Amino acid sequence: MSFGSRAHVAMQAYGPACIGIDPHPSLLEQWGLPDDIEGLDRFARTCVEAFAGQVAFVKPQSAFFERFGARGVVVLERTIEDLRHTGSLVVLDVKRGDIGSTAQAYADAYLDDDAPMAADAITVSPYLGFGSLTPFFEVAEKNDAGVFVLALTSNPEGPDVQHAVRGDRTVAGSVLAQLAELNAGASPMGSYGAVVGATIGSSSEDLAINGPLLVPGFGAQGGTVDDIRRLFGDVIDQVIPSTSRGVLSAGPDVAALRDAASRVNAELVGS
């Protein structure tokens, strides 16, 4: 099954929420864990126990593992391996983007199913030109994986680039239109998604890309169900709201983490 098909099935089974695994120093401290490799390992194992096969999407943030060096990357590899094929899909948040053979190497590292760190999908940046992402799409297609492309982010610096106009389209609008072309004809939806922040306020862009819309900023960062309903309207069934701290702050108790994730899904489904 393509990633788009698997994502649709997972959303129907568990609800649309994506739960981040962000071993931020403040969360390690909140959980009573040391800010070292042992604390990282315990944090990650607890998240796997709580979320694997319980939610549709789990999104490890690579940077919070990488800060511990090679040993942190080993923990990330094991975390991805433990999560995959449990019913939950792994969206690895790496925001990679490069050109030529380097882009190909990144694609092979994260999307080739035989790679040690292979995920179900990854995040990428299109700001070296949308065409630079071709290796990611090609490897994803061969391996039934997904790609989420940054489009409309909620950081205050984003609009300087994303709202810039080229011809009759904004940069973000061009990214969305090209994703729609890649997803054309796919059913129930394509495998190539966009990242659109829950706290961008409003947008006149066409978000109907026939693909998944990964929406960070929901929950603790201020995004609400009303924001999602207002922003996404007719394509709300393709929205994957992402939250990290809003759920992780319930830890380290596994049952409490699961309950927090369930409440998020119930809130979203009730919308």
From CA 169, how far away is CA 158, in angstroms rounded?
Answer: 16
Nearest to 110 by CA among 82, 86, 90, 132: 90
CA-to-CA separations, 153 to 108, 157, 162, in angstroms, rounded: 26, 9, 8
Q: Is 142 noted as a catalytic residue in this protein?
A: no
> Which residues lie closer than 8 Å to 162 by C-beta, 6 or more apart?
151, 152, 153, 170, 171, 172
Indicate left, alpha or beta for 211 from its phi (over 0: left) and psi (-120 to 50: alpha).
beta
> Which residues lie closer than 8 Å to 62 by C-beta, 6 or more apart?
76, 92, 93, 94
From CA 191, how far away is CA 212, in angstroms rounded?
Answer: 7
The answer to whether residues 15 and 3 touch, using CB atoms and an 8 Å cutoff, is no
Set 95, 169, 245, 263: catalytic member? 95
Q: What is the DSSP letter of 218?
A: B
Partnered with residue 74 across adjacent β-strands are none
Partnered with residue 59 across adjacent β-strands are 20
Query: Is the alpha carbon torsion for 250, 255, 261, 262 positive or negative?
Result: negative
> Which residues lie closer than 8 Å to 255 by C-beta, 6 or more apart?
none
At 125, give phi and psi (nearest 5°): -110, 130
Catalytic residues: 95
